[in-house]
Amino acid sequence: MEQRTAFTRRSLLKGAGYLAGAAVLGGCSASGGGNTSAATVQAAKSGTLTIMIPSGDLPQQFISEYEKAYPQMKINRIDTDVTRLNAMLAAGDPPDLVRDAGIDVTPYIASQGLALNLDDYLAQSTVLKESDIMPVNDVWKWDGSQQGQGSRFGISKDWSQDQMWWYNSELWSAAGLTAPNPDTPLSYDEILNYAKEMTKTSGGKTSVYGLWGISPNIDYIAGMVASAGGRIISEDLGSVDFSSPEAQQALAWIVEAGKSGAGYSVTNPSPDWDGPELLAGRQAMANQGYWFTDYVETTNTAYESKLVFNAAPLMGSTRISPSYGAVGFWIPAKSKNPGASFAFMEWFCGGEGAKQRISAGDGLPTLKSLLPLLPQGDAFQKAAYDTQQNELQYFKVVHMATPYAQSTAINTTLAKDFPAAISGGLSVGALADQLTKDVNAVLAAGKTALGK
């Protein structure tokens, strides 16, 4: 990710981001099931439920409404903090519920025995029914060796297809560009060329960036590579390879985007994230998913008439539209009140709490039955809804998560290596070799910590 002074929504999507080899590994099972079985479903106990989640994801309004609906419970919200969570897990006194990104964390938290197996809870749920759960939730599954199969260790609260993007139609038209069909994906090369035409620079200062901010993020790169028919991580999830033609094509695009100055990059970090920059007229595009609908409506409604939501671009010819997060909750195996934790998950992810959030356009629902609640009350909402509905058929999980390291550790490595290619003389081929070496070193450290 870009090194920024403030958190972005995408950085928050990465959740707690535990590092492989951290203190929490001591005494944990390394199997797919381990000590996490929910063979006996525990009833909810009255008391205080401690939830680790950013304040923006659980505003006081929702806390108050939940406590009104469940007067026997009190919510103690604590901020997402990797150091604090690791310490709590290591001490055997974890939060009751942790908000996180299932796509990134499931292999790790399941294989380490950190997360409760939810199969028995879900089997008895009248809210989160198996037949109603959206396919994106399969990222919370782990069978001991593969993500997407086996038991469920979490559930999403909402999600988006995160390689979709928005553009400012006024800036697009001012550059003499013909508006693309929102349902027809452009290539990454086309987008970069258009971005260059919309970028405005004078006297060495850029007033408008044509492109969205580019972060050397492993999920982002893996999605690009997958659309070209390639893959970065090995089948056993233990190593990576950036030297394939597909991977080097993606690396070359990111390097060129940085060199061109058409968008913020790791060598020219944004003062914020895509949202504020786009709605201030300083950026012509934003690489954000459907959830951005609600952000626009609650931040700057004047932009509703200007913004167009588009299908995910392609690096090759394989049309896919992945999610980077599938953000939701997992219950620590040592939670003192797993029954109440699951009850909150039901309310917030599939019950009344979910209905309120989905009706506002704050992401796609975790349940198929809630899809009709997505807002369509005005032209802006309807256009975004139509584009999103068409895009659902192209959803695909791009495998990049591993039991041996979290994405934050890998992204830190990527951010360290890219500047030499963008600002220096490092070739794309040499960058690919360096990334392969450095990321594999992170994975090797994780294996060593597990005794593998």
Please state which of the four CATH numbers 3.40.50.2000, 3.40.228.10, 3.40.190.10, 2.40.70.10 is assigned to the domain occupying 163-321+404-452. Answer: 3.40.190.10
The answer to whether 376 and 387 have CB atoms below 8 angstroms apart is no
Dist. CA 242–CA 249, nearest whole Å: 10
| pLDDT, position 162 | 94
Task: Single out the residue of 395, 439, 399 nearest to residue 222, CA to CA.
Answer: 399
What is the rounded end-to-end Cα distance, in angstroms, of the chain? 29
Tokens representing 37? 């079985």
| pLDDT, position 215 | 85
Give strand ranges (E) for 57-104. Answer: 73-78, 97-101
Dist. CA 376–CA 384, nearest whole Å: 8
Q: Please tell me the pTM assigned to this model.
A: 0.87
Percent of the chain exceeding pLDDT 90 equals 81
Tokens representing 217? 């993020």
Dist. CA 34–CA 358, nearest whole Å: 35
Percent of the chain exceeding pLDDT 70 equals 91
The per-residue pLDDT for range 296-333, each reduced to its tens digit, is 999 999 999 999 999 999 999 999 999 988 999 999 99
User: Which contacts qualify for 127-130: CB closer than 8 Å, 24 or more apart?
Assistant: 127/346, 127/347, 127/350, 127/351, 128/155, 128/345, 128/346, 128/349, 128/350, 128/366, 128/367, 129/367
Which run of H or E residues covers position 178?
Answer: none
| pLDDT, position 249 | 98
The per-residue pLDDT for range 89-106, each reduced to its tens digit, is 999 999 999 999 999 899
What residue spans define the domains of the chain? 9-160+325-374, 163-321+404-452
The answer to whether 211 and 199 have CB atoms below 8 angstroms apart is yes
Dist. CA 159–CA 167, nearest whole Å: 21
Task: Single out the residue of 101, 55, 105 nearest to residue 76, CA to CA.
Answer: 55
Tokens representing 21? 């080899």
The per-residue pLDDT for range 161-192, each reduced to its tens digit, is 999 999 999 999 999 999 999 999 999 999 99
The answer to whether 67 and 76 have CB atoms below 8 angstroms apart is no
| pLDDT, position 44 | 83
| pLDDT, position 8 | 36
Rg (CA), the chain: 21
| pLDDT, position 22 | 34
Answer yes or no: is pLDDT of 47 > 60. Answer: yes
| pLDDT, position 71 | 93
Which run of H or E residues covers position 315?
Answer: none
Dist. CA 270–CA 214, nearest whole Å: 9
Please give the biggest Cα pair distance in the chain. Answer: 68
CATH 3.40.190.10 is held by the domain 9-160+325-374: yes
Give strand ranges (E) for 260-373. Answer: 285-286, 307-310, 327-330
| pLDDT, position 43 | 82
Helix (H, G, I), strand (E, B) or coil at 106: helix
Task: Single out the residue of 315, 321, 451, 305 nearest to residue 388, CA to CA.
Answer: 321
Say which residue the tokens 């593998």 belong to. Answer: 452
Answer yes or no: is pLDDT of 395 > 70. Answer: yes
* Confidence band for 9, pLDDT divided at 50, 70 and 90: very low
The per-residue pLDDT for range 135-147, each reduced to its tens digit, is 999 999 999 999 9
| pLDDT, position 452 | 78
Answer yes or no: is pLDDT of 417 > 60. Answer: yes
* Confidence band for 40, pLDDT divided at 50, 70 and 90: low
DSSP label of 136: G
Name which of 59-68, 70-79, 165-174, 400-409 the model is least confident about.
400-409
In the predicted model, what is the mean pLDDT of residues 369-388? 96
| pLDDT, position 450 | 80
In this structure, the strands spanning 47-52 and 73-78 are parallel
User: Which contacts qualify for 25-28: CB closer than 8 Å, 24 or more apart?
Assistant: 25/112, 25/449, 25/450, 26/90, 28/112, 28/113, 28/114
Name which of 32-46, 225-239, 260-274 the model is least confident about.
32-46
